[in-house]
């Protein structure tokens, strides 16, 4: 079965695109599969394990996600219907259930079916188990074209390409300052930023493009170990959501992801990946989705396009310019400039080779 993997910096619109693709009855649109593995270490894809071991890995609850939800902090991409389903974040939701909730209104039934099959699978590479899992879900739901998206995956391209050599990629790009602003409000990105910032403060060495004057007095004075504690459950919702991580730090995270993605995507044959701009997807949804459909091998039927267009809110573009003061925006633009230019160049090169 054909596999397409959407990669991006995170907060770049991949959840919206995944949901649009889910509206097409031919597409199995999977979300957050690579987050099933501990600490997002997808090097595990090269490990050889039994079906029972694989099931235990993907069914293990996410301490961070459950802790966030138990603290009452919203986590919008996790579609599991907590109010009516079997599992509760307070006691642990099997991580695979959150993947299943993005493709089914009854994730618990799918979970039970997989629980009765996967543990008996023979020993194979984890990437092979993933392939079989994708095929099982595609067959169960009658959706033969498989698309996967996990947030913030640009640094994973090389491993994914090695373990899924026939996969194709959609490189989804969104304006850097807009991504940084969105990251600053998202719990999982706040966790990553706090832990990286704690490491930087403990070493007294900030990442390139950042300076101490970008940090508030509270950040400069915080004990790195205290900051680390804020980033682990049980979460104090108020401290966790209000700690003043500078927007510049999130812009640096975006720029770093873009550097990783640019170098890795250049190793992929040009006919095996396509660039896609979030802003253009909002502006010209039909044409851009038709382009995506052609790339993944499905017809761009009118009914699907009509339904998908209803998800679009064009006002989501340009959020940083609309909400930040000019000085703060200029700092973010400066940090993101190289990544912005990088994607412009990649896109123009792809257009020439088309």
Instruction: Tell me the C-alpha distance between 74 and 271, whole Å.
Output: 39
Instruction: Tell me the C-alpha distance between 255 and 70, whole Å.
Output: 32
Q: Which residues pair with 224 in a beta bridge?
A: none
- DSSP for 204-253 reads T-PPTT--GGGS-HHHHHS-HHHHHHHTSSSP-HHHHHHS---HHHHHHH
The answer, as to whether pTM is greater than 0.85, is yes
Q: Which two tokens stand for residue 141?
A: 């739901």
Mean local confidence (pLDDT), 264-281:
97
Task: Say if residue 303's pLDDT is above 90.
Answer: yes
pLDDT of residue 301: 96
Judge whether 146 and 3 are in contact, CB under 8 Å.
yes
Q: Domain residue spans in the chain?
A: 3-175+285-315, 185-244
CB atoms < 10 A from the CB of 152, how many? 24
Pairing status of strand 168-173 against strand 3-8: parallel
pLDDT of residue 249: 93
Judge whether 323 and 184 are in contact, CB under 8 Å.
no
Average pLDDT of the chain, as a whole number: 94
The tens digit of pLDDT for each residue in 206-224 reads 887 778 878 888 888 999 9
Judge whether 141 and 12 are in contact, CB under 8 Å.
no
Task: Say if residue 286's pLDDT is above 80.
Answer: yes
Q: Assign 37 to helix, strand or coil.
A: coil
**At 229, is the pLDDT very low, low, confident or very high (cuts 50, 70, 90)?**
very high
Mean local confidence (pLDDT), 50-65:
96
Mean local confidence (pLDDT), 62-68:
94
Cis bond before residue 290 (omega within 30° of 0): no
Provide, rounded to the nearest whole percent, the portion of the chain with pLDDT above 70: 99
**At 160, is the pLDDT very low, low, confident or very high (cuts 50, 70, 90)?**
very high
pLDDT of residue 283: 95
Judge whether 298 and 27 are in contact, CB under 8 Å.
yes
Mean local confidence (pLDDT), 313-317:
87
Judge whether 176 and 258 are in contact, CB under 8 Å.
yes
Q: What is the rounded radius of gyration, in angstroms, for the C-alpha atoms of the chain? A: 20
Q: Which two tokens stand for residue 145?
A: 């074209």
pLDDT of residue 207: 82
pLDDT of residue 6: 98
**At 44, is the pLDDT very low, low, confident or very high (cuts 50, 70, 90)?**
confident
Q: Which of 150-154, 171-175, 212-216 has the lowest mean pLDDT?
A: 212-216
């Amino acid at each position: 079965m054909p596999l397409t993997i959407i990669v991006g910096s995170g907060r770049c619109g991949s959840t919206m695109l995944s949901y649009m693709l889910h509206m097409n009855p031919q597409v199995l649109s999977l979300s957050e599969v690579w987050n099933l593995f501990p600490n997002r270490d997808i090097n595990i894809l090269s490990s050889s394990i039994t079906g029972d071991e694989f099931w235990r890995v993907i069914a293990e609850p996410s301490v961070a996600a459950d802790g966030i939800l138990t603290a009452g902090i919203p986590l919008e991409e996790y579609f599991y219907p907590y109010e009516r389903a079997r599992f509760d974040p307070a006691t642990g939701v099997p991580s695979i259930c959150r993947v299943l909730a993005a493709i089914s209104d009854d994730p618990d039934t799918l979970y039970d079916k997989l629980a009765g099959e996967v543990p008996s699978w023979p020993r194979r590479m984890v990437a092979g188990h993933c392939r079989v899992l994708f095929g099982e879900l595609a067959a169960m739901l009658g959706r033969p074209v498989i698309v996967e998206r996990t947030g913030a995956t640009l640094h994973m391209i090389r491993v994914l390409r090695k373990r899924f050599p026939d996969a194709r990629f959609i490189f989804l790009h969104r304006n850097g300052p807009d991504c940084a602003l969105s990251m600053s409000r998202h719990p999982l990105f706040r966790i990553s930023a706090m832990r990286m910032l704690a490491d930087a403060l403990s070493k007294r060495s900030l990442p390139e493009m950042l300076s101490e004057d970008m940090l508030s007095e509270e950040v400069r004075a915080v004990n790195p170990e205290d900051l680390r504690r804020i980033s682990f459950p049980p979460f104090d919702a108020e401290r966790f959501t209000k700690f003043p991580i500078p927007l510049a730090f999130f812009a640096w995270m975006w720029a770093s992801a873009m550097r990783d993605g640019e170098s890795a995507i250049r190793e992929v044959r040009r006919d095996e990946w396509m660039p896609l701009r979030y802003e253009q997807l909002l502006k010209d949804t039909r044409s851009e989705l038709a382009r995506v459909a052609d790339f993944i091998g499905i017809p761009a039927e009118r009914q699907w396009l009509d339904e998908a267009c209803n998800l679009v809110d064009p006002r989501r573009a340009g959020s940083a310019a609309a909400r930040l003061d000019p000085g703060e925006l200029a700092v973010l633009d400066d940090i993101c400039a190289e990544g912005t230019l990088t994607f412009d160049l990649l896109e123009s090169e792809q257009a020439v080779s088309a």
